[in-house]
Amino acid sequence: MTKYRADITALNAEKIGSQAHGYVEFTTKADKLHIKLEMFDTPANIQHWEHFHGFPDGKDAQVPTLAQDTNQDGFIDLVETEPVSGTTMVPLDAAPHEMCIPNDNYPVADANGYYSYEKDVDLAKLEAKFKEVFNDQ
């Protein structure tokens, strides 16, 4: 069994007035990937697209900073994150192994801005889709 955990904080928090925070855990055991995510203080009553970024070549991804604000508008835009964080890879939605990013199957925050997500994913299916999309496992 292998377990990874990441603490999540909001980009642009000081600009948007949100102090969203939480964590995600990825645990591999045998032929499954177990994903568990909890978020707090997010914008309430809306769907939140969750996914992880990375580089298909295995390069280490970094958390973007204001140094990536290339258009100097004071916000780190999604397109500005790619040079350091990589591309969007796996969505934390109803079917992560399908790697279909735009869809309506992501978690929705409650009235307090809380939501959780938990899913078991077949690793063979996820690896096959990775190979198809990124030509790598």
Q: What's the CATH code of the domain at 85?
A: 2.60.40
Pick the range with the lowest mean pLDDT from 3-17, 30-44, 87-101. 3-17
Percent of the chain with pLDDT over 90: 85
pTM: 0.87
Number of structural domains the chain divides into: 1
Domain encompassing residue 71: 2-134
CA 5 to mean position of chain CA atoms: 12
**Exposed/middle/buried for residue 34 (C-beta within 10 Å: 0-12, 13-18, 19+):** middle
CB 35 within 8 A of CB 22: no
Per-residue model confidence (pLDDT) at position 54:
93
- Residues 49-103 have pLDDT tens digits of 999 999 998 899 999 999 999 999 999 998 999 999 999 999 999 999 999 999 9
Handedness of CA 13, 110, 89, 32 (dihedral sign): positive
Please give the Cα distance from 105 to 119 (Å, whole number). 13
